[in-house]
Amino acid sequence: MSGFVYNEKPIRIASGEGPYLYAEDGTEYLDFGASYAVTPVGHCHPDVVSAVQEQAAELLFVHASYPTDARDDLYAKLAAVAPEGLENVWLNNSGTEANEAALKFARSATGKSKLVAAKRGFHGRTMGSLSVTWKKKFRAPFEPLVDDVEFVTYGDEEELADVIDDDTAAVILEPVQGEGGVNPATKTYLQAARELTEDAGTALIFDEVQTGLGRTGAFWACEHADVTPDVLTTAKGLASGLPIGATLCADWIAESAGSHGSTFSGSPVVSAAAEATLSVLVEENLPEHAAEMGEYLRSELEAADLPVREVRGHGLLVGIEVKRGANRVLKELALSHGVLALPAGRSVVRLLPPLTVDTEHVDTVVSALADVLGGNE
């Protein structure tokens, strides 16, 4: 056996530039899944590539117990973009690790045990993050997982109020559920979660691994609801494809985080890639651009009058609930139209392109969707 776990697609990718991926045979693909939200500034952005090349030539690695300019520059950049009060940064290597740290820190800072998560939520595949992930298929083969976890209906304030008690260490939520079908939370639900957790001395964790970095049209999705959690996690596109996660914490969490560590925390090359990615996001006003393009995308989808059940989302995180299997639609989009997108569950086609896309790219995707699904185009 060689590789396993993934069912590989019949397209061998050789290179990437901006919103495009190129197969070995030269076929061009418009990557409207941003390779799982990993390329917010596009594939191989020249600033990121040169930051990586320069840092690699200088110093590939030194452990986090030695300060480096690369890591300090990233700390400063992350603190500058963090929601106010979340300037304490723990760097790790993936989304699941960012959440793993968030859950550990919440337990140690509160001295409490119970973890509350949402049905249809997705937080990663390592044992702790998996324990607060809803989907049975992901969990069942690996049980028993971490115990003392309760799931609540996403969006139901009363249920949340009932479940939070004196022993609740954390409530973990995505401001928009990604894998679970692109389900945005209402502002009032997130505000209720903030109030309830604050009253109970419970940490509120927002998993912004998919919704962060400008994706929803604000730098962090929690800004739309005027809510600041105690811990915010980010990963995916933070280093444009190099492995990274970050756990941003309030002072009271960081002060009693407990013992934790990771060999690769803030390694120089990855830090340089992340610093460059954040600089591009800020300098090119990409969150604002994502808001505009998201609106354009949704209005064009509406105008195309596609025979679908629903279009929902926020900024450039859009879910289209189709009437047949999403995977069949995605396959046709890829093979007949050179458009790559993602599923979110069985019946939702998820669009989350690089934030750099323009109207012409949106037009290409909407007309491809109209062709595959049948519509007015």
Ligand X SMILES: *Cc1c(COP(=O)(O)O)cnc(C)c1O
Known binding residues for pyridoxal 5'-phosphate? 95-96, 122, 207-210, 263
To ligand X, the closest distance from the beta carbon of 152 in angstroms equals 17
* Residue of minimal Cβ distance to ligand X: 95
H or E segment to which residue 342 belongs: strand 342-343
Select from 78, 317, 311 the least CA-distant residue to 214.
317
Nearer Cβ to ligand X (87/207): 207
Which amino acid makes up residue 260? Answer: H
- Hey, what are 47's tokens? 């600033």
Query: Which positions make up the binding site?
Result: 95-96, 122, 125, 207-210, 262-263
Place of tokens 């730098």: 219
The string of DSSP letters for 287-330 reads HHHHHHHHHHHHHHHHHHT-S-SEEEEETTEEEEE-SS-HHHHH
- Hey, what are 86's tokens? 């979340």
Nearer Cβ to ligand X (103/322): 103
Provide the Cα torsion 340, 241, 46, 21; round to 10°.
-20
From 35, 55, 88, 94, residue interacting with ligand X (rule: CB under 6 A): 94
Which residues in 96-125 are b (16+ Cβ under 10 Å) and which e? bbbbbbbbbbbbbbbebebbbbbebbbbbe
Nearer Cβ to ligand X (19/95): 95
User: What does the alpha-carbon distance between residue 224 and residue 166 come to, in Å, rounded to a whole number?
Assistant: 29
Residues between 95 and 134 that touch ligand X (CB under 6 A): 95-96, 99, 122-124
* Residue 154 interacts with ligand X (CB under 6 A): yes or no: no
Nearer Cβ to ligand X (178/294): 178
> Which range binds ligand X by CB under 6 A, 21-29, 150-158, 172-180, 360-368?
172-180
Residues between 174 and 203 that touch ligand X (CB under 6 A): 174, 178-179
To ligand X, the closest distance from the beta carbon of 178 in angstroms equals 4
* Residue 210 interacts with ligand X (CB under 6 A): yes or no: yes
User: What does the alpha-carbon distance between residue 354 and residue 34 come to, in Å, rounded to a whole number?
Assistant: 5
Nearer Cβ to ligand X (95/313): 95
From 31, 87, 100, 207, residue interacting with ligand X (rule: CB under 6 A): 207
Site string for ligand X, 40-79 (x = CB under 6 A): ----------------------------------------
> 124, 247 in Cβ contact below 8 A?
no
Place of tokens 């969150």: 287
To ligand X, the closest distance from the beta carbon of 122 in angstroms equals 5
Nearer Cβ to ligand X (123/289): 123
Binding-site ranges for ligand X (CB under 6 A): 94-96, 99, 122-124, 174, 178-179, 207, 209-210, 235-236
